[in-house]
Amino acid sequence: DTYTHGSGLRMMNGSSLALQYARFAHNHTTAIAAGANPSEPHNPMPFLSLSHITIHDTRAAECSQLPVGNPLRCVEGDRYYGLGNGLVAVGPADIRIDHFAISGSRLAGIQVARFGRITATQGEVHGNAIGVNIQIENYPAELLLGPSVRYYDNDINLDTQSQPLPDLFDALPDAPE
């Protein structure tokens, strides 16, 4: 259901995965996202290891384009999950990515917030509205901005302002019958 969801890969609450040689294209909301629900302290953080990954053209969910006040809009107060981010770590989560390309994200190529952690090496982030959005005070930016990662042709390469975060903890809609 790309109207409200359409993530390529979503990892939550203690899951772990090592993924090599994959392409995520034309997803809605997020291409790859990981997080643990901070309101459930007994859930360990997910761990995601990515290598030789391409993320391209992550689009906003259709519901994010609806007018304010429309009950089908995927924005309610501070809950916002439809803007189109490539790679996201929100809540306790640890993502490591190498040999990658992230391009064409509607909002951020990479977004890290609320105790998330992303370590990026040997890659490029280009053609996004925001290359990387960091929403953690005193985050070690060298994990994302090291010399082996190129940021170019983004409207903004580095953004530390608060941006809407995807809601990883909503139940996924039932599959159509």
Pair of tokens at residue 173: 């809609």
Sign of CA dihedral 11, 20, 174, 60: positive
pLDDT in tens, 79-138: 556 688 999 998 889 999 999 999 999 999 999 988 889 999 999 999 999 999 998 888
How much is the pLDDT for 80? 59
Single pTM value for the model = 0.83
Q: How far does CA 42 lie from the centroid of its chain?
A: 23
Q: Is residue 172 predicted with pLDDT exceeding 50?
A: no
- SS3 letters across the chain: CCCCCCCCEEEECCCEEEEEEEEEECCECEEEEEECCCCCCCCCCCEEEEEEEEEECCECCHHHHCCCCCCCCCEECCEECCCCEEEEEECCEEEEEEEEEEECCCCEEEEEECCEEEEEEEEEEECCCEEEEECCCCCCCHHHHCCCEEEECCCEEEECCCCCCCCCCCCCCCCCC
Is it the case that residue 47 has pLDDT exceeding 50? yes
φ, ψ (nearest 5 deg) of residue 143: -65, -25
Model confidence at 38, in pLDDT bands (50, 70, 90)? low
